[in-house]
Amino acid sequence: MTGPRHFLTLMDLSHQEIREVIQRGVELKTLRRQGTDTRTLEGKVLAMIFTKASTRTRVSFEAGITQLGGNALFLSGQDTQLDRGEPIEDTARVIASMVDIVMIRTFAHDDVERFAAHSSVPVINGLTDDFHPCQILADLQTFFEVRGDISGHKVCWLGDGNNVCHSWMNAARRLDFELVVACPEGYDPDSQLLDACAAQVSINRDPVSAVADAHLLITDVWASMGQESEQARRATQLAPYQLNRELLDRAASGALYMHCLPAHRGEEISTELMDASESVIWQEAENRLHAQKALMEFLLAS
């Protein structure tokens, strides 16, 4: 018997499955707008384990499972026995025996892999130091809604080659589009992942040429959770990579721009672009709800 399907990185879904989840996300959004009942996961329980802060991930998962007829349990690391040293493997066996699906946000990606290896129910990565695949499902849904299929387009990532960037690299591999990562030396994405994505992903140190002809510009905070002490150094070194009007004007006409939030206005993104009427950033944030509802349905049906 095969084990449950997990979603630890985008590579856990085929390109066709990613498209199916996005399509269902679009559909669930329409149904919610219409006020249609979508209790497809009646009675299902989602355990949400957080050892890092969150606004969007917590609210979207908790609201999402509730709208689908299920319930969510919020478990912070410090309120469970995890912070007192209970092994992840033991925790996984016990929690999985009581709930239907688990979402984890934590530091080490390896911790989520170990949890999943000992879980009899699907495990979703709600962000680790290395990946944030749920965010990219919502981002892709947003691009599909506004511009259509992303395959064959050019995307430019600006700034730190971090967890969100890594998941965009996997998206480029799975959906076959060009991704240029514009970052200074010392901020490159993981080298092994770069090698694996070499056909779709390249590095360009020059933000101006990197954004040329791009259909989508993306950025994220310069200091991720856990890197707060490096904030000042990062702000200095990454300043030329700020997503602002000047760079947007050098991208393809009508280019979109995204930010997973939370944002630092005036650092990685200009205040003007954050507040511009053409921004899809708020749509992107809302789509976390719809895309993850589709993801939970998919994993529980698999």
Cis peptide before 184 (omega within 30 of 0): no
Name the binder of 167 from ligand NVA, ligand CP, none, CB < 5-8 A by kind: none
Q: Is 132 a catalytic residue?
A: yes
Residue 35 CB: number of other CB atoms within 10 A?
Answer: 6
Is residue 224 near ligand NVA by the rule CB under 6 A? yes
Q: Using the rule CB under 6 A, which residue among 20, 32, 38, 54 binds ligand CP?
A: 54
Is residue 261 near ligand CP by the rule CB under 6 A? yes
Question: What are φ and ψ of residue 262, in 5° steps?
Answer: -70, 145
Residue 209 CB: number of other CB atoms within 10 A?
Answer: 12
Q: 152: alpha, beta or left, given left = phi > 0 and alpha = psi -120 to 50?
A: left
> Which of 79-94 are b and which e, b meaning 16 or more Cβ less than 10 Å from the residue's Cβ?
eeebeeeeebeebbee
- Choose the binding region for ligand CP from 12-20, 41-49, 211-219, 259-267 (rule: CB under 6 A): 259-267
Q: Using the rule CB under 6 A, which residue among 260, 273, 291, 295 binds ligand NVA?
A: 260
* Residue type, position 225, single letter: M
- Show Cβ contacts of residue 130 under 8 Å, excluding neighbours closer than 6 positions: 109, 163, 166, 190
Q: Using the rule CB under 6 A, which residue among 26, 196, 225, 235 binds ligand NVA?
A: 225
List 220, 242, 290, 292, catalytic entry = 220
* Residue type, position 210, single letter: A
Instruction: Select the residue whose beta carbon is closest to ligand NVA and give its number.
Output: 224
Cα–Cα distance list, 261 to 124, 203, 273, 288 (Å)? 20, 23, 13, 11
**Of residues 156-175, those binding ligand NVA (CB under 6 A):** 162-164
Is residue 60 near ligand NVA by the rule CB under 6 A? no
Of residues 28 and 221, the one with the C-beta less far from ligand NVA: 221
- Choose the binding region for ligand CP from 53-61, 64-72, 90-98, 191-199 (rule: CB under 6 A): 53-61
Rounded least distance, CB 131 to ligand NVA, Å: 10
> What are 42's two structure tokens?
């009646």
Fill in the per-residue mask, 15 to 54: x = in contact with ligand NVA (CB under 6 A), - = not in contact. Answer: ----------------------------------------
Rounded least distance, CB 5 to ligand NVA, Å: 24
Q: Is 288 a catalytic residue?
A: yes
List 6, 56, 109, 132, catalytic entry = 132
Rounded least distance, CB 220 to ligand NVA, Å: 5
The C-alpha torsion from 90 through 93 and 96 to 102, rounded to 10°, is 50
C-alpha closest to that of 68 among 89, 41, 90, 45: 41
Catalytic machinery residues: 105, 132, 135, 220, 260, 288
Binding site for ligand NVA (CB under 6 A): 127, 162-164, 220-221, 224-225, 260
